[in-house]
Structures are given as C-alpha cells and as structure tokens.
Structure 1
Amino acid sequence: MRTWRGLVGLTAFFAFWQGLTMVGIIDPFMMPSPISVIEALWEMALDGSLWINLGASLQRVLVGYAAACVVGVSLGLLCGWWRVVADFVRPVVDALRPIPPLAWIPITILWFGIGDMASYFLVFLGAVFPTFIATYTAVRGLDRNQMNAALCLGAGPRLLFADVLIPASLPIILPGLRIALGIGWACVVTAELIAAQSGLGYLIQQSRMLFQIQNVVAGMVAIGLVGLLMSLLLERLERRVNAWAPSERA
C-alpha cells in the first residue's frame, strides 16, 4: 500500500505539472512539460550521453561515500566509546561541520584541479559529518545495562564490541548513512556543475549554456529518480538488518 500511495503521489504531481504547461500557466520554454522531458531523457538514453554521465556521477558518489562511511563510522565509534578521544575530535568536527561543501569548491579546485578527485573530496565532506554524528549519537545513547549484562556473562572486549555495541547501534547508524548518501549525491552534482568534465551536473551545465532547457530539466529528473532509488535501496537494507527493532508499519 505504501508503494502504491507513493506511485499515486508521483503520478498526480506530474499530471499537475503537465496540466499547468498545457493551459499556459507555465511557459513551456522555461519549464518544459513532463512529456518533453521524457522525450529528452529517451533521446539521451538512445545516444548514450545519459548513461555515460550517470555512470560518472555514480562512481564519484560511491567512492566519496565509501570513504566517508569508513572515516565517519570509525571516528564515531571511537569517540562514542572513549570520551577522551571525543574531547579531542568533537571540537574539530563541530568547527568544520557548519561549513557547506559548496564553500570548499574554490580551495578543492586548487588542491585537486578539475576532475574526479575534487568530486570525491566534496562528496566525502558532505557525507562524513552526518555519518559521524549518527554513529557517535548511537554509541553514546547505548543502554549501559546491556553492556553490564554482557560483562557479567563473561563477554570480552571483542565480543562486547561485535555482538553488543554494533548491533545495538545500527538502528541509529543506518538512517544516518541513508541521510549521508542523499547529501553526498547532492554534493557530487553540485561539484560537477563547476569542477568536472562529465556527470549529470556537467550535463545540466552544458545544456544550460546551449539553451537546451528540456535537457536541463531531464538531468534534474534523472538526479531525483536516482536519488530516490538509492534511498529506497538503503531503506530496504535497513529494514532487513534492523528487522528485530520496533518500527512504524502504517
């Protein structure tokens, strides 16, 4: 039922958009109709430009996101478990976290030039902080009674970490990873608008310069659909991993 309701919502949105363009409320040149956008997507799919740029964007976001997960989860676990480590790391994180990834673009270009490394770095910056915060919060909020019960039953440090700390923290860590992926996806597109020679962001920028507005909107739609698909995949994984945890099914 949730899937059907989502499909109905998307269909209603696109039908409303199509209706506004048909009656002339929206200028079809400045905002092409959904039918024109679908035609543009089909043409780009046929000539291969859509798949080439989509592949480049996915590669960049996956590499940067993977690095952010490794660093963010590791630091979050360390800081959550050892308060002394948190006293050193948290001030640095709290100082860097408010800086938007967009502000890093000029210095990123100076460091890495225009290419994949700049995009990797910007995706990493966008995803690492929500990953760290989710992991740190999960560990700090862990019920100490669970830890004490495991210790009373003879659990050693390795067993305590692998069988108690990690499973109990996953219900908070996994939603944080899903949020971080969405931010990383937005960051890679932003980076490609300025510091790349391929990708969906680059496709949008080139189409804008050529006044191919239907391709601009088609690129935006592709970004939204791919982001939605990645979020749904992570949500499904989250439900499988956290099947034991209480959740709202309605």
Structure 2
Amino acid sequence: MLALNLIGLGLFFGLWQGLASAGIINAFLLPSPVDVVAALWEMSNDGSLWVNLAASLKRVCVGYLMACVVGLTLGFVCGSSQVMAEIVRPIVEALRPVPPLAWVPIAILWFGLGDLSAYFLVFLGCVFPLFFGAYTAVRSIDRNQINAAKCLGASRWLLFSGVLIPASLPIMMPNLRLALGIGWMCVVTAELIAAQTGLGYLIQQSRMLFQIQNVVAGMVAIGFVGYVMSAAVERIERRINAWAPSERD
C-alpha cells in the first residue's frame, strides 16, 4: 500500500516537474517542485516554517479539544435523552449550515486578531461533526446491550463507560478524523485573515510579496501536515476498533 502511494506521488510530481521544465506551466504562476522544495528548505533553515507551523498546530489542537468537550458531551446527552435532543438539535441545525468563514468578522469583533479568533473558528468547524457523530453513535446502539447491562446491575457511570462509549466508537471515530481535517482547514483560513502568525499568515504575506514559491511551499506544508494528522488518527482508530467486525467478516 505504501509503495503504491509513493508511486502515485512520484508520478504526480514527475508530471508537474516535466510540464514546468518544458515551459508548459508558467513558472511564476506555479513554480516547479524543485523550486518549491528549495523554498521549503530555505524557510526551514531560517526557522520561519517551524515557527508558523507550531502556531497553526497549537491553534488547531486547542480549538479541536474545545470542540471535542462540547460536541461529544452534547452528542452523548442528546443521544441518551429525547427531551434534550428536541431542545438542542434545532439550535445545532440552525447554526451548522453557516460556514466558519462567515464567522470571521464576528470572531475579529469579539476576540480581535490572534489566537482567540482562530480557536473560535476551529471550534465552530469541528463541533458540529463531533456532535452528530456522537449523537448518531448513541442512537445506533443496540438497546439490548443497554438493557442487559441494566439487568446485571450496572451503574449509570458503568453503563456510560462500559457500554455506550465502546459501542459508539466504530461510528464516532471517523467523525473525529473528519472534524480534525475540517479544523485544520479552518485554522489556515482564519490565519489568512485574522492572525499574525501561522501557515495561513505565511501564505498571505508571501502572496503580498509575490513570493509565489513560498505560497506553494506553504500549501505543500499544509497538505503534508494534514495528511500526517489524518493518518495518525486513522491508525488510532484501527487500534481502538480492532474488536469491531469489519466489512470483510
């Protein structure tokens, strides 16, 4: 599998470099992979890449964790209580269609330029898929499992930790990975407008200085880090859900 992935990436970058070398692609509008790698190397050496990457990772981690606390808690509560579901779901359904980008002016007005605005936008991007993942997971649990645990004298906490959470993980884990990807996109978007550090800010500054190779280098860094985060969560998901039956069973 890894070999096929590397072959695909090699063909893509080889085609890109070939078109750039042949002059088919305008080198100013889209620098070649060689120029992009050189830009990444230069920014790595002067430290600007690592400083901005660290700022972006901090923001996405804080916003994502906040969304996990709020989204998963509300999802479990609403999944377990029909009354709470009827109260909370209309609010969530009304706010969910509003894209995080539309909240940028409000975020700047409330929190100014900086980390707090980015935390807020990442939170908004992550909280809704996390809520619906937890809500759907709890609703999908076989009620016979819950009734059996109650008959065996399980306390409310044991019912939650020993039945609801393990049974919810196969459905909930993909939503955790999806929300993290959305949060990564949201933090970069926020940094393009409402931050003074981060990969999005690096791209914006490079665009204003017509350093297109740095713009593309920043995009490559964003894509690579997003891929690594998604792969890491997917690996955790496979370990956690190893007990669950797969489609091949």
Output the CA distance in 1 between the equivalents of 2:77 and 2:60.
Answer: 25
Partner of 1:155: 154
Output the CA distance in 2 between the equivalents of 1:160 and 1:3.
Answer: 40
Listed one character per residue, the Cα deviations across residues 188-224 of structure 1 (whole Å, up to 9, x for unaligned) are 0000000000000000000000000000000000000
Output the CA distance in 2 between the equivalents of 1:228 and 1:241.
Answer: 20
Question: SS where residue 242 of structure 2 aligns?
Answer: coil
Output the CA distance in 2 between the equivalents of 1:72 and 1:236.
Answer: 22
Q: Given residue 206 of structure 1, which amino acid in structure 2 is its aligned partner?
A: Q
Partner of 2:9: 10
Listed one character per residue, the Cα deviations across residues 132-151 of structure 1 (whole Å, up to 9, x for unaligned) are 01110000111111112222
Output the CA distance in 2 between the equivalents of 1:42 and 1:129.
Answer: 38
Partner of 2:210: 211
Output the CA distance in 2 between the equivalents of 1:124 and 1:165.
Answer: 25
Output the CA distance in 1 between the equivalents of 2:148 and 2:34.
Answer: 61
1:69 paired with 2:68, answer: yes
- What TM-score, normalized by structure 2, do the two folds share? 0.97
Output the CA distance in 2 between the equivalents of 1:13 and 1:157.
Answer: 54
1:3 positional shift: 1.8
1:239 paired with 2:238, answer: yes
Output the CA distance in 1 between the equivalents of 2:13 and 2:64.
Answer: 31
Output the CA distance in 2 between the equivalents of 1:227 and 1:248.
Answer: 27
1:190 paired with 2:223, answer: no
Output the CA distance in 2 between the equivalents of 1:165 and 1:122.
Answer: 30
1:165 paired with 2:164, answer: yes
Cα 1:58/1:75, change in 2 over 3 Å: same
Q: Could you say what the CA RMSD is over the residues aligned between the two structures, in angstroms?
A: 1.0
Output the CA distance in 1 between the equivalents of 2:198 and 2:155.
Answer: 48
1:248 positional shift: 5.4
Partner of 2:138: 139
1:226 positional shift: 0.2
Listed one character per residue, the Cα deviations across residues 172-202 of structure 1 (whole Å, up to 9, x for unaligned) are 1111010000000000000000000000000
Q: Percent identity?
A: 69
Q: Which runs of 4+ in 1 moved over 4 A?
A: none
What is the count of residue pairs matched by the alignment?
248
Output the CA distance in 2 between the equivalents of 1:195 and 1:158.
Answer: 42
Partner of 1:34: 33
Output the CA distance in 2 between the equivalents of 1:247 and 1:3.
Answer: 21
Output the CA distance in 2 between the equivalents of 1:40 and 1:8.
Answer: 24
Output the CA distance in 2 between the equivalents of 1:117 and 1:197.
Answer: 12
Listed one character per residue, the Cα deviations across residues 113-137 of structure 1 (whole Å, up to 9, x for unaligned) are 0010000000000000010011100
1:23 positional shift: 1.6
Output the CA distance in 2 between the equivalents of 1:65 and 1:135.
Answer: 15
Output the CA distance in 1 between the equivalents of 2:245 and 2:181.
Answer: 24
Question: Structure 2: which 5+ residue stretches go unaligned?
Answer: none
Q: Which moved more, 1:172-181 or 1:153-162?
A: 153-162
Cα 1:27/1:248, change in 2 over 3 Å: farther
Question: SS where residue 32 of structure 1 aligns?
Answer: coil
1:246 positional shift: 2.4
